[in-house]
Amino acid sequence: MGTYFVKDHAVPEPQAATLWFTYAGNHGIEISRAINIWEDAATDAGTESRDIVERAGIRIECNVAGSIK
């Protein structure tokens, strides 16, 4: 499970997810693609997906070992 930030404030994952899926819908990202991006962003290899999610104003923080907190 990750640590999610909106405007540098920690928020619960469901709140961050709601913001992400609202953003995705408003920007023409298909729901299946939005789900894939969201899930990938929570993996060690999800750097590109985290960058995409960050466009919505959501930062997912990884721990020192590189996995999601």
Q: What are the residue boundaries of the structural domains of the chain, listed by start?
A: 3-11+18-61
| Biggest distance spanned by C-alpha atoms of the chain | 34
pLDDT tens digits, one per residue of 17-56: 999 999 999 999 999 999 999 999 988 899 999 999 999 9
The reported pTM is: 0.85
Q: Which residue has the higher pLDDT, 43 or 62?
A: 43
Q: How many CB atoms lie within 10 A of CB 53?
A: 26
Q: Is the pLDDT of residue 66 over 60?
A: no
Structure confidence at residue 2 (pLDDT): 79
Please report how many Cα atoms fall inside a 13 Å half-sphere around the Cα of residue 3, on the Cβ side: 10
Structure confidence at residue 64 (pLDDT): 42
CA gap 24, 39 in Å, rounded: 14
